[in-house]
Amino acid sequence: MDDFANKVQAAASLADALFVCWRYIADEKCLNQVFERSRGRCYSREVSFPLIVQLVHDALTQHAGSGNQSFEHASQQGTLTASKRAVYGKLGRMPVEVTVDLFSTMADRLLALFPQENRKSLPACFTSFKVRTVDGKTIKGIAKRLKPLRNSQEGLIGGKALVATDYQTGTAVGLAVDTDGDANDVRLLPRLLEDVRKRTQGKQLWVGDRQFCDLIQLGRFSENGDHYVVRYNAKNSFFRDENETVREGLDVNGRAYTDECGWLGADSNKHQCYVRRITLELDDGAELSIVTELFGVRKYPAADLLYLYGERWEIERVFQKVTEVFSLENLIGSTPQAGLFQFAICLLLYNQLQLLRSYIAGHQDRETEMVSIEKLFIDVQRELVTWQVLLSGFDIETLVPIRNAGASQQHLHELLRIRWNDFWIKSTNSKKRKPQKRKTKKRPKSVHKILNAKTD
């Protein structure tokens, strides 16, 4: 490798770091194993599975989410020898089993690169758990390119995804999907729990919104010795235990709460369970209640449980970043399968940026949350363009050889040790905005149902 390439790599160390990470988690041999393991009756000829993964990743990182531009560039470079139509067709038929397996495999490989020293700290009472937040995401904004969709007057939705995030790294670690965008999140929960549990060791603490507060789902959360903190849903009757004292206190923000124990569900319900319910008085006069089976007011203080549930909103920010920053608004395909595949790659890209800012923040002795992922991605994209223009004649195998996890970690430390730009500091907004009233729109239609109706 000549001196010019060395200088470009040194000047574009953010892009170099992203390539180091991507080359490790998207190893071609590993991707082929994923495809063979989960493809079912699907097959590949000219358009291989590793190539599709790379094309979508390039579209998101270098072409503002444009699949067309990514495919054209690959054709010019000689990487893609098939037609663009063949790639779109392959994406549109991508088995969801492959999508989930791809995400799980690459998410696990990426976690191996995370530095231990700069993970988000937990309240002391939760350090023995792996804290997972669960929420659903509907893939919206499907383009009406397919003939059966062109006459639809309503908006179109693709598939439904249920995601689990890890509290300490802020990354997405679990994914369950359905091609029907109208599918209920609860329907996907058993698959998500099974997938995450078989890939991780130790007890897990599941945090979820009120839609997961029914007796069957709470039972699923508590399997295998796991625990849960879930927002209370009034559809479940709560019967207070008169033999237990009702305790009162203040949360970390000085708001009053009550802490009580009792039963969820009637005596006649075989799924009835004994829980601890904590009810917080909000500033606007409303109440927020959570239920858990972490008993012991000293071992698990109510204020810490309320704080942990309040952190659940981080998963909403993940979805916002994935949609607005990583171009999920620009869907490459027009089928639920294509939308879910792109969503999985977007989540993996988000995880990569989380990794980079964790290294950067650690070397600058800053909190990871103080580094804006949007601003960091702007500079990453600029440096990727630099690579694309100035190093197009060089082989990526030579520029960024595939390393094992330990060597990749060491190289990431070397690349990002002295990288800092005040531009990356997250902006703060102290103004409180009144929530805008949403305009009533026609209910969007599920692409899955439209396409299935046309084939019946």
Q: Any idea what DSSP says for residue 214?
A: S
pLDDT tens per residue, range 210-246? 999 999 999 999 999 999 999 999 999 999 999 999 9
Token pair 């970390």 is found at 252
Q: Dump pLDDT digits (tens) for 286-311.
A: 899 999 999 999 999 999 999 999 99
Q: Pick the range with the lowest mean pLDDT from 27-31, 85-89, 322-326.
A: 322-326
Q: Is residue 434 predicted with pLDDT exceeding 70?
A: no
Confidence of residue 152 (pLDDT cuts 50, 70, 90): confident
DSSP letters spanning 392-443? TTS-HHHHS----HHHHHHHHHHHHTT---GGGBPP---PPPPPPPPPP-PP
Residue of 112 and 153 predicted with greater confidence: 112
The percentage of the chain sitting over the pLDDT mark of 90, rounded to a whole number, equals 72
Structure tokens at 203: 């007890």
Output the pLDDT for position 1.
56
Pick the closest to residue 342 from 383, 356, 350 (CA basis). 350
The predicted pLDDT at position 316 comes to: 92
Task: Evaluate if residue 43 carries a pLDDT over 90.
Answer: no
Q: What is the pLDDT of residue 223?
A: 95
CB contact at 8 A, 237 and 266: yes
Q: How many CA atoms are closer than 13 Å to the CA of 326, on its beta-carbon side?
A: 24
User: Distance (Å, rounded) from C-alpha 173 to C-alpha 130?
Assistant: 11
Residue 42 φ/ψ, nearest 5 degrees: -70, 155
Least Cα distance to 48 among 16, 72, 26 occurs for 26
CA distance 383 to 403: 21
The model's pLDDT over 160-194, given as tens digits with 9 standing for 90+, comes to 999 999 999 999 999 999 999 999 999 999 999 99
Residues 275, 291: Cα–Cα separation, whole Å? 6
Task: Report pLDDT for 190.
Answer: 97
* pLDDT attached to residue 194: 97
Domain boundaries, the chain: 1-118+332-425
Residue 453: CB partners within 8 Å, gap ≥ 6?
none
Q: How does pLDDT run across 22-37, given as a tens digit for each residue?
A: 999 999 999 999 999 9
Q: What percent of the chain has pLDDT over 70?
A: 96
pLDDT the model gives residue 455: 57
Place of tokens 């060597």: 407
